[in-house]
Structure 1
Amino acid sequence: MNNIWKIYMLSLISFLVGTSQFVISGILDQVAASVGVSVSAAGQLITVFALANAIGTPIFMVGTAKMDRRNQLLLALAIIFLGIVSTLALPGFEFLIVSRIILGIGTGIFVVTSYSTAANLALPGRQAGAMSNIALGYSVSLVLGVPIGRVIASAYDWKVIFGGIGIFAVLGFIAVAKTIPPMKSEAPIPLGKQLVMLKNPKILFALCVSLFVFTGYSVVNTYIAPLLTSTISI
């Protein structure tokens, strides 16, 4: 298989992985009703996902730095599948919180590893384009995955969405195992050295800007479904 198609394959899997993250905002009211909590309480499902993604991903990346990238991708997909199974099988809001934490870690590992894998698969001078394909797949999951998920949840049940993602996660696992060649990862950078970079005012400023941008976006996006449905009903 030509490497460009391997990059497109990773982009497609990134779309599915991103959908597992973003789709919850489009069905938050239905999830809340199914587990017997308020919509505001259900919003914590998005919070714990984000925290697990932000905190767990760098820890896992350091811990698995000696693994080749293909195995890291497989590990990520296995963790995502575990999160999907627990979402479907375990009852109650507390277990759903745990499932979102598992999914947050798996998603973070997959996306980070996909960027570096795509760059290595690309031809010299085209690494940026390969990485942008991964970003495109992940971003499209917000644009298309969320409304598609809402339609499916309205017609059937919100768990059907995660069941479908779980099936595609297995197919993605098989595809990665068969097509992505072993690739050595770079030497791990200790978390201490990464944190030292925060002393650089420019880096700190850029991170703060990103924090405020995504905070402003997430505040509205998290409760967009109940907001729109209540507006329409009025």
Structure 2
Amino acid sequence: MSSPFLLPVLALAVCMVGAAEFMLAPMLAPLAAAFDTSPAHASGLVSAYALSYAAAAPLMGWLSDRAGRRKVLLAAMLLFAADSFALTLVPTLQAAMALRILGGLAAAATIPTVFALIAERIPPARQAGAMGGVMLGMTAGIAAGPAVSGLLAESWGWRAPFLWIAGCCLAAFGAGSWVIPRDLPPACMSMTKDPSINNAGDGILGLLLAKGAWNGSAVAGYVFAGEVLRIRYGLEVGAVGIAVSVFGLGLALGNMLAGQARRRYQREENILTFATVVVAGSMTLFLTAAIGLSVALGCLLTWGAALGIAAPASTALLAQRAGANKGKVLAVSESINNVAVLMLLPVAASASATYGVTPDAALLGGICMAGAIGSATVRRRQL
């Protein structure tokens, strides 16, 4: 039986991944000054982390399937802590970027291992709720990371946020050493999929590609939400920031409702189909329709909430169908998601600059709906 503290510790681990990925947003100027470069060059620290994360995820997922979840996750927390601490000591931007690559490796090991561990230790009926609760930790890290890092850097200098991350990772390592269970033998791991799902390996590629489509387009669309609010409603920068935070609130709300959605709709396939259609519809309405500000904020909240429900449902479904290869499949999913966002952002930006927001929104909404249809099609083949 798993410790009642397991999920909070896993939430702390993924919170650090989310915070580390976005914490540099308010710190580019002090980092540029520290390394005697420009903010544009300092942004290479973000790229080094993200590209390392995307490229290494499949390898790290395979490693967690072979070496064991506990070993890989604890090693990742130690590497994260050591990397963050070492960043405060290096003298050059090049050395800092090399260390951020190591941080990306640690992140790539953490995310699939955490969710594979949940899939192996939590009964199938509770997996979506458990994953939603842990994803809430990542949502908190993404939302709070820039704010906390900005305050720490302003008060104590650019090194303080990295020391904060290092301390939290050490805390996660210490707590994880006590609560993360010993690794299951391979024979037991292969038995943890939902017995109601036949031919578990079938349809995984389709689900991965469909998730890349709906998740990538939803994230790419969110990047343009602030500009839409500014142009359409004449909001100032501060007001735009507050308005856009409604999406994060919706995302957190969706994470918390994931378990309730599983109990209501019974199967992850049903949740996924419904939630992704809602994502596509609310995103397209927000980006294209001439609606009042209150309705637009409602669309933004719905968009985030539906995405917050769809993500844990999709992760639980992939884990159930992956058999003994949960780490590998979930890691490939992470890579596909990141690649989809990296591909769609420049395409969407170009379409918006050339043809305006409406055709751009139609493109992203169409891709999102195609992903939703793809998920439903895979579902029908499995029933």
1:131-150 to structure 2, matched below 5 A, reads 131-150=131-150
Does structure 2 retain, via aligned residues, the 8 Å contact 1:68–1:183?
Answer: yes
Identity rate of aligned residues, in percent?
Answer: 23
> 1:45 — aligned with what?
45
Residue aligning to 2:127: 127
In 1, Cα distance between equivalents of 2:119 and 2:72: 15
Deviation (angstroms), 1:111: 1.5
Which residue is equivalent to 1:224? Answer: none
- Aligned partner of 1:105 in structure 2 is 105
C-alpha displacement at 1:10, in angstroms?
A: 1.3
Task: Quote the offset at 1:121 in angstroms.
Answer: 3.5
1:104-146 alpha-carbon deviations (Å, 9 max, x no partner): 1101211211112233333451111111122110111121121
CA separation of 1:214/1:28 partners in 2, compared to 1, >3 Å: closer, same or farther?
A: farther
Say whether the 8 Å CA contact 2:119–2:127 is kept in structure 1.
yes
Kindly indicate whether residue 88 of structure 2 is the aligned counterpart of residue 83 of structure 1. no
Q: CA deviation at 1:18?
A: 2.1
Inter-partner Cα distance in structure 2 for 1:137 and 1:10: 8
Tell me the alpha carbon deviations over residues 3-46 of structure 1, each in whole angstroms, 9 at most, x when there is no partner.
33210121123222321221111212221221111111111211
* Equivalent residues of 1:4, 1:121 under 8 A apart: no
Q: Which amino acid aligns with 2:149?
A: G
**AA paired with 1:143?**
A
- Is the radius of gyration larger for structure 1 or structure 2? 2
Q: Which residue in 1 is equivalent to 2:25?
A: 25
Match of 1:207 in 2: 212
What whole-Å deviation, never above 9, does each CA across 1:144-186 have from its counterpart, x for those lacking one? 1210110111111121111122122122111111111112365
Corresponding letter in the other structure for 1:89: L
Q: Which runs of 5+ in 2 are unaligned?
A: 191-200, 227-236, 239-383
Q: Cα–Cα, structure 1 residues 115 and 45, in superposed 2: closer, same or farther, change >3 Å?
A: same
Question: Is the contact made by 1:30 and 1:158 (CA closer than 8 Å) also made in structure 2?
Answer: yes
Asked if 1:161 is matched to 2:154, the reply is no
Aligned counterparts of 1:20 and 1:144: Cα–Cα separation in 2:
11
Q: Note if contact 2:21-2:50 (Cα within 8 Å) is conserved in structure 1.
A: no
Distance 2:225 2:109 in 1: 26
TM-score for both structures, normalised by structure 2: 0.50
- Secondary structure in structure 1 of the residue aligned to 2:4: helix
How many Å separate the matches in 2 of 1:152 and 1:218? 26
The amino acid of 2:32's aligned partner reads A
The verdict on how the C-alpha distance between 1:61 and 1:86 changes in structure 2, with shifts beyond 3 A counting, is: same
CA distance in 1, matches of 2:74, 2:139: 22
- Greater RCO (CA < 8 Å, at least 6 residues apart): 1
CA distance in 1 between counterparts of 2:108 and 2:134 reads: 13
Query: Greater shift after overlay, 9-18 or 149-158?
Result: 9-18
Contact 2:64–2:109, Cα closer than 8 Å, also in 1: no
Instruction: Please report the RMSD computed on the Cα atoms of aligned residues, expressed in angstroms.
Output: 2.9
Q: What SS does structure 2 have at the residue aligned with 1:15? A: helix
Structure 1 pair 214–21 and aligned structure 2 pair: CA distance change class (3 A):
same
Compared with structure 1, are the counterparts of its residues 38 and 213 closer, same or farther at alpha carbon in structure 2 (3 Å cutoff)? farther
Give 1:217 deviation, angstroms. 5.3
For residues 6 and 137 of structure 1, the distance between their equivalents in structure 2, rounded to whole angstroms, comes to 13
The amino acid that maps onto 2:114 is S
Listed as ranges, the gaps of 5+ residues in structure 1 are: 188-193, 222-227, 230-234
In the alignment, does 2:67 pair up with 1:67? yes
Contact 1:120–1:127 (CA under 8 A) maintained in structure 2: no
- Is contact 2:11-2:134 (8 Å) kept? yes
Distance change in 2, residues 1:32/1:209 (3 Å): farther
TM-score (norm 1): 0.79
Structure 1 position 118 matched with structure 2 position 123: no
Task: Measure the CA separation in 2 of the matches of 1:208 and 1:32.
Answer: 35
How many residue pairs end up in the alignment?
214
